[in-house]
Amino acid sequence: MPLDWVLTQSLKPEKLRSQVTTTKESLLQLLNISNIALIDELRVEFESGLNLLTGETGSGKSIIVDALGVLIGGRFTADLLKTGKDRGSIEGLFIVEPNPEFEEILNEAGIVCSESTQVELIIRREISATGRNKIFINNQLATQSLLKQLREFLVDIHGQGDQQTLFNSDTHLQLLDSFAGNENLLNEVADAFETWSKLREELDTLIKDEAEKFQLVDTLTFQINELERAQLVVDEDQSLEEERRRLMNVEKLTTLCQSSYARIYEDDEAALARVRQTVNDLTELAEFDSSFGDYREQLDSALAVLEDLAFSLRDFADRLEYSPSRLAQIEDRLVELLRVKRKYGGSIGDALEHLARSQDRLQQIEASDEREAELRQKVEAAESRYFEVAHRLHQQRVKTAKKFEKAVEQGIKEVAMENGRFQIQVADLMSEMSDKLQLVDQSGTKISARENLSPVNDKLKLTGHSGTDHVEFYFSANVGEELKPLARVASGGEASRLMLVLKTVANATEFPRTIVFDEIDTGIGGRVSEAVGVKLKRLSSTNQVLCVTHQPQIARFADSHLVVEKQTLKERTKVIVNRLDKNGRVEEIARMLTGAEITESARKHAREMLK
């Protein structure tokens, strides 16, 4: 089967799985791309270990990484489609080791998987020029939110823009928590913060300006009295309108009822009598041909309907009576109902809902003093709970920071920054605020800032769903240089290596998955590239790694070396991917060493590198 493979969107999971040989360690087995950017149809197989993508600049390597990002929930725009195409798709086959949390997410979503020791997942994303897209997981329609949940277990992509996010302190906090495995504690803190925030908002609403309350009480009381006097009944306006129309057409309705009753029941040729005679005739016929018995039974039913209709017409006519006073009463009531409906929402149902809301709001205001005291107690309890859990999270971060520092310092030495130093500062903002403000009570005793920050919004500046900590990474690359915030000291090449080390250290405690690096070698070369290659190789022993690189020193470590090329046929450009054998790797690494014109000495050097 050629590597340039036409994707069939309706492909069944069993058929897609048959295209590859699964291995226990590998996660992303197969990627199919159709009508994306320069790609018409492309099939790429990946293996366990270190998968390296090389090729000339602009050959389409990053398109493959971008497509994988879109597949697992990344944003896309219509210009991602190949020129002239109105539809495209991306499809991937993932093999995931058993994981209870992962399987629970699938079960809750009703996603059916194969019965095996591994979870086999086929994700397909179809996109159109209109901006719409569909997501399928194992051929079942799925949501974007489900895809984002699953992404955490499947792929971690580190692109060229990650160097900037690496300088963001929020990223530092996330990396530390990832290394520490703080997910459960973070959930506790987030839940506690959410409870505290909602109670604070409710209390803020309750203690609004008293004058505004009094004005609101007057308005609510007036509206409640007005609506209660109206004595509204659901659908009363419709019933009255029907009665009004009947009163205005009494003569016509009486004539219709009487004539219809006569035709059914009273006339010499009344329908009821004629049907009865027909029933009698059919009874005799049925004695000679049983098929007429069915018709006789149906006419019996028709007789019952006619009798019921005749009596209903007679009774309805008897009830009809023109009453000018009742008509005037109905019209007055309809005018009143119309006024109320226009004022309170457009229908009687809306007006009744407004009445219920107003009554509830008035009751809340009247009981506000008691409710305020109750809420203050709840806010205090929720606040204490939040800070208790946040403090436990802070202690865990401080404890883990030392281990993280040690692991990162070891890692940066492995990527040729032998003199590099790394430090993490974990600052509890609430504790620091207490120290800076030096708050004291009337007896002179120092007290915490959180007990005195006012108004409530001051606390919001120092707290959040992730706790009260500010985490900052500090770094020094050379002997004699003081530690400074990462953003102020790391060069481009250093940032690339730091990103690799930080991501690999943070990922060490996570569920094994596919880790993707798009041009991790930016700003480095030679010996440093060699060190990065060693680091990637070690990382690939526990995770499947996909890496786009321009450095031969990194490419030499590949377990699977894929070269990406562009071809122009009939004024159309297409992207192809080939897996290289040993000779192919020699040629590609020689090209990376020398450029377009490959020399024999470059080939010799490439062979030496691959030994």
- pLDDT at 432 (0 to 100): 59
| Cross-strand partners of 135 | 125, 142
* Band of residue 160 on the pLDDT scale cut at 50, 70, 90: low
* Band of residue 605 on the pLDDT scale cut at 50, 70, 90: very high
Question: Which among 2-11, 166-175, 191-200, 277-286 has the top mean pLDDT?
Answer: 191-200
Instruction: Write the pLDDT tens digit of every residue in 533-561.
Output: 988 998 888 889 999 999 999 999 999 99
Q: Is the dihedral of CA 33, 38, 40, 41 positive or negative?
A: negative
**Mean pLDDT (the chain, rounded):** 82
Tell me whether strands 28-36 and 39-45 are parallel, antiparallel or unpaired. antiparallel
Q: CA-to-CA distance for 127 and 89, rounded, in angstroms?
A: 6
Q: Residue 95 contacts by C-beta under 8 Å, 6 or more apart in sequence?
A: 22, 23, 26, 27, 29, 118, 119, 120, 121
Whether residue 455 is preceded by a cis peptide bond, meaning omega within 30 degrees of 0, is yes
Q: Over 80: is that where the pLDDT of 194 sits?
A: yes
Proportion of the chain in helix, strand, coil states, percent, rounded to 5: 55, 15, 30
Mean pLDDT of the 60-64 span: 89
Axis crossing angle, helix 183-206 with helix 368-414, rounded to the nearest 10 = 150
Q: In what order do the strands lie in the sheet with 421-428?
A: 421-428, 469-476, 484-485
Considering only residues 278 and 355, tell me which one the structure prediction assigns the higher pLDDT: 355
Dihedral pair phi/psi, residue 175, rounded to 5°: -65, -40
